[in-house]
Structure 1
Amino acid sequence: MENLIIYKEYKIKDIKTIKYYRDISVNGILLDNFENLEELDQLFSLASYLKTNSIRLFLNIDIAIILKKLIGEDFAWSNPKIRNSFYQFINFLVKRGISGFYFTSLDELIDDNSYLSLIKEFSKNTINKDGIVSIVETSKNPYYLNYLSNPIYNNFSYVDIDNEVLSFIEYKKYTATIQAMENNQNINQIIKLDQSFQSFTNTKNYPYQSVSLLCGISYFHRGAVMIKSLEELGFASGINNTNAYKFSSYSKSIRDFYKYILSYKNSIPALSMGSYRQIFVNDSDIYAYIRSYDGEKVLVFGNFSQKEVLVDIRFHFLDLYDFSYLIGNYGKRRIVKNLLLRPYEFVAFIKNNKLTN
């Protein structure tokens, strides 16, 4: 599903108004705490209500926990009867209106020797149905990630990758591997506010710049967006279920920045379907890439340091001056061959799109 933006809520009682989700372009809600089977009827009613408002309901399914609740005893995933019991349960949820699933613990249940065949069995018997979105949380290497999420294999819709801790340059190169679409590799990723990149920012002294930088860099990648919490959107912490905004001193600006980023993610084909090329791969301060689709290009820059950095971009683009400003966290600016990036600055430029000014 293109342009999927998922908002993660913990429980049913945390669900907010439709307007709240529409304000930030959300079209899917993931209930993160699904363990109480007595709530099923309430879930089905909620799924029906959301669907009439063009929002899908997804469930976080911890396979190990759900199986223990279903069969009431220890189990082995290698047992076909156990697997079939689980498949029947998922199909029951689909028939009652659940639109998607976020699966956890699958890596722990299947050993590498039988991984590929059992993944195919899993997807064939449960999630390979029209309109069903499936996400699997995994820490597998790119070979397995490609098998899990590449559409040619018809397994999961997306992978949510549990990233290991890497240096800035190593993490940039890893991200480029995941984002690239080359040699039959097409890893469809769930994009979150990147916690690995967060370790290279300074949210104490540059709160707005750091968080908006992470927002732009993360969500302009290829993949479906998952928003994890109110605090991530710039709300003050300690809020119970409410539809009233409670802002910190800078959080309104962050929320507004998010809304623009998510709006562009939905409306600019290069950001939803475009190819990806990373530049300045070995630079220890700059993260930069280009998204391209059908002649349209979006050029993205992020300065992950608290010093000004001068970036010479004249040799990377023959069409440099065809780009116009799209969005940034320091305000509007022109593209020039020697681009000065301020501390934790994010800026994006676009070529050939009606949104340019």
Structure 2
Amino acid sequence: MNDWKKKGVVYEIYVQSFNDTNDDGIGDIQGVIQKLDYLKELGVNILWLTPIFESPLVDNGYDISNYQSINNIYGTMEDVEELIKKSHDYNIKIVMDLVVNHTSDQHKWFQESKKSKDNKYSEYYIWRDPRPDGSAPTNHGSAFGGSAWEYVPERDQYYLHLFAKEQPDLNWDNKELRNEIYNMMSFWAEKGIDGFRMDSISFISKPQKFTNAPVVDNKEYGAYYYGIANGNNIHRYLKEMNERVLSKYDLITIGETPHTNTEEGSKFLDSNELDMIFQFEHMHVDYGKYGRYSDVSFKMSDLRESINHWQENLTWNSNYLGNHDQPRIVSRFGNDKKYREKSAKMLAMLTLFQRGTPFIYQGEEIGMTNVDFQSIDDMKDLEAHNTYDFLTRVGISSEKALDMVNRKTRDNSRTPMQWNASKNAGFTDGQPWIRINNNYKNINVEKDLLNKDSIYKFYQELISLRKSNDILINGDCKLLDLTDSDIITFTRNNNGEKILVICSFSDKRIKFDIPKEYKAMKLLISNYDSADFEGDVTTYLEPYEGRAYIIG
């Protein structure tokens, strides 16, 4: 992996909610350009932009109707070119979202494909005949509820959609379709972008046993991912992608790979198909009977076990706790009330000091929290509405269903960036596309920039340490004491030089025994006023305390 990739710190921008410069209530590309000074000062050097392409926005841009045209609510192609140039002037790389498991149903390809079985685009999507009784080929469900199959009378066939029915899945077995995608990727590489974050890339090759599978018994709709990830041709297609596009440019490749284990994940990395992958095992630690939408709290031991498993078995990780599809990390894994600042800093240390590329989602650097939505009508996310309807349909009270959806709705992370305490948090002078979190007057960038002990300043320091310390970049990562109920402890070791990292998840003051072999340690950073150690082996950690020591 190239040096710039290993030293990268990625900042994800949800463009729609980042910064609005034309007061239409929607963030835009000029808004990103306007904040480049802020991002440079924070210390990040790779920006991942969520989709800004032409789209009906059924799934907030992950339903693309034209890959080579910019949605005019975000700006123009000239704005994108300006962003690329100015970011590069700041030594900041630009990564675009590559959404090629599916398109919008408004895409030209699909509009033509659904007309007949014998046109140029007829096999660009996955079509199957009905069962003898006219019903869907299988009873697999989509991620957003209901069947994963939608009937089209013109063809007397069903098409597959793992997500919304407006997001038909592409047929990667079709060579002409793949050529179209590679040409599109080359178009963006020639524009000067520096990489792709590949949405749901582990789904592009569908195992035959899925699309031809028998009906899943005893369920109205089976899980959408049942047998779907990493089909027989996944590695062939990614190798072909490398040959046709990726090998010709200096691009970073970040694959989102749902339902991929470490053995399968290693194949992507070890064969140089991808630089790193997003896996979701640690995102499942608080799943319950109804999946992610539950009232279950995470167990720290499960989180630690997952981190340990992937650090042990993958050569390079994508380290993240939140993104545009997840709740706010301080609300989910920390304490967003009494210990919001302390727990946000501790979680930042956990993310930035593991082996691999750290990902920061916009607002994490100031400790933005979940939103207390008072009504399902306040939520914009399609998944939230479908889930709420499902939960009430199976007998859960509307109050309980709202509480369960509130905890995990993707809207928690999609509310506008809180820049200051002025109207609409400084995001827009217009009407925001989604409500602002009520706590913006207390939690905002301007306030953090004026406070020398703020979460933002702590992120700055962590990022600076990571970029300047070879141990934190190239050192291995070994988790210690896998039985402690409150603490995640790990070492980074590079050629005998070591750093010890201690992260407490307790809201109480707890005793901690320093490993006996570490007799003299110099404090590198802490979110409290902690001390160096000269032979002592017992200490006390304050609530949500995080420390890192240089050993020896």
TM over 0.5: yes
1:78-103 CA-partner distances (Å, limit 9, x unpaired): 11110111011101211221111111
1:62 corresponds to which of 92, 99, 110: 99
1:45-91 CA-partner distances (Å, limit 9, x unpaired): 32122213211111112222379646354522211110111011101
Measured in 2, the distance between the counterparts of 1:118 and 1:325 equals 48
Query: Residue 275 of structure 1 aligns with which residue?
Result: 476
Change in Cα spacing, 1:245 to 1:285, as seen in structure 2 (3 Å) is closer
Stretches of 4+ aligned residues off by more than 4 angstroms: 192-198, 248-252
Measured in 2, the distance between the counterparts of 1:314 and 1:26 equals 33
Are the counterparts in 2 of residues 12 and 31 from structure 1 also a CA contact under 8 Å? no
Counterpart mapping for 1:8-47 below 5 A = 8-9=12-13, 10=15, 11-15=28-32, 16-36=34-54, 37-38=69-70, 39-47=76-84
Structure 2 residue 266 is matched with structure 1 residue 79: no
Structure 2 residue 271 is matched with structure 1 residue 153: yes
**1:8, distance to aligned residue in structure 2 (A):** 2.0
Query: Residue 233 of structure 1 aligns with which residue?
Result: 366
Change in Cα spacing, 1:219 to 1:297, as seen in structure 2 (3 Å) is same
Measured in 2, the distance between the counterparts of 1:68 and 1:110 equals 23
1:212-270 CA-partner distances (Å, limit 9, x unpaired): 1111111111122222113543467344169x943279896111111111111111111
Q: Secondary structure at the match of 1:204?
A: coil
Q: Secondary structure at the match of 1:323?
A: strand
Query: Residue 247 of structure 1 aligns with which residue?
Result: 447
Query: Residue 100 of structure 1 aligns with which residue?
Result: 195
Counterpart mapping for 1:176-325 below 5 A = 176-180=308-312, 185-192=314-321, 199-230=332-363, 232-234=365-367, 237=418, 238-240=425-427, 245-247=445-447, 253-315=454-516, 317=517, 320-325=518-523
2:304 corresponds to which of 172, 175, 184: 172
Change in Cα spacing, 1:67 to 1:323, as seen in structure 2 (3 Å) is farther
Q: Secondary structure at the match of 1:180?
A: helix
Q: Secondary structure at the match of 2:524?
A: strand
Structure 2 residue 548 is matched with structure 1 residue 340: no
Which has the greater radius of gyration? 2
**1:344, distance to aligned residue in structure 2 (A):** 0.9
Structure 1 vs Structure 2: percent identity of aligned residues?
Answer: 22
The root-mean-square deviation of aligned C-alpha atoms, in Å, is: 2.7
Q: Specify the code of the residue in structure 1 equivalent to 2:306.
A: Y
* Structure 2 stretches lacking a partner, 5+ long: 16-27, 55-68, 71-75, 114-124, 126-170, 207-230, 286-298, 369-416, 419-424, 430-443
Structure 2 residue 421 is matched with structure 1 residue 326: no
Measured in 2, the distance between the counterparts of 1:67 and 1:133 equals 29
Are the counterparts in 1 of residues 319 and 354 from structure 2 also a CA contact under 8 Å? no
Structure 2 residue 191 is matched with structure 1 residue 4: no
Change in Cα spacing, 1:252 to 1:246, as seen in structure 2 (3 Å) is farther
**1:27, distance to aligned residue in structure 2 (A):** 1.2
- Which sits farther off after the overlay, 338-347 or 166-175? 166-175
Change in Cα spacing, 1:46 to 1:250, as seen in structure 2 (3 Å) is closer
- How many equivalent residue pairs? 343
Are the counterparts in 1 of residues 477 and 491 from structure 2 also a CA contact under 8 Å? yes
**1:286, distance to aligned residue in structure 2 (A):** 0.8
Q: Secondary structure at the match of 2:532?
A: coil
1:122-166 CA-partner distances (Å, limit 9, x unpaired): 333222344211111122111122122x2x311111212233422
Q: Specify the code of the residue in structure 2 equivalent to 1:303.
A: S
Structure 2 residue 233 is matched with structure 1 residue 114: yes
Change in Cα spacing, 1:268 to 1:220, as seen in structure 2 (3 Å) is same
Tell me which protein shows more strand as a share of its residues: 1
**1:282, distance to aligned residue in structure 2 (A):** 1.2
* Structure 1 stretches lacking a partner, 5+ long: 353-357
Q: Specify the code of the residue in structure 2 equivalent to 1:240.
A: F
Query: Residue 256 of structure 2 aligns with which residue?
Result: 137
Q: Specify the code of the residue in structure 1 equivalent to 2:280.
A: D
Measured in 1, the distance between the counterparts of 2:108 and 2:319 equals 29
Q: Specify the code of the residue in structure 1 equivalent to 2:320.
A: I
- Which sits farther off after the overlay, 79-88 or 10-19? 10-19
Q: Specify the code of the residue in structure 1 equivalent to 2:253.
A: S
Change in Cα spacing, 1:19 to 1:45, as seen in structure 2 (3 Å) is closer
**1:200, distance to aligned residue in structure 2 (A):** 4.2
1:17-46 CA-partner distances (Å, limit 9, x unpaired): 443122111212222132231433432332
Measured in 2, the distance between the counterparts of 1:2 and 1:275 equals 13
Change in Cα spacing, 1:101 to 1:257, as seen in structure 2 (3 Å) is same
Q: Secondary structure at the match of 1:332?
A: coil
Query: Residue 164 of structure 2 aligns with which residue?
Result: none
Measured in 2, the distance between the counterparts of 1:41 and 1:68 equals 24
Change in Cα spacing, 1:339 to 1:125, as seen in structure 2 (3 Å) is farther
Change in Cα spacing, 1:300 to 1:70, as seen in structure 2 (3 Å) is farther
1:51 corresponds to which of 80, 84, 88: 88
1:310-355 CA-partner distances (Å, limit 9, x unpaired): 122243x2xx233200111111312331121111111110136xxx
Are the counterparts in 2 of residues 234 and 251 from structure 1 also a CA contact under 8 Å? no
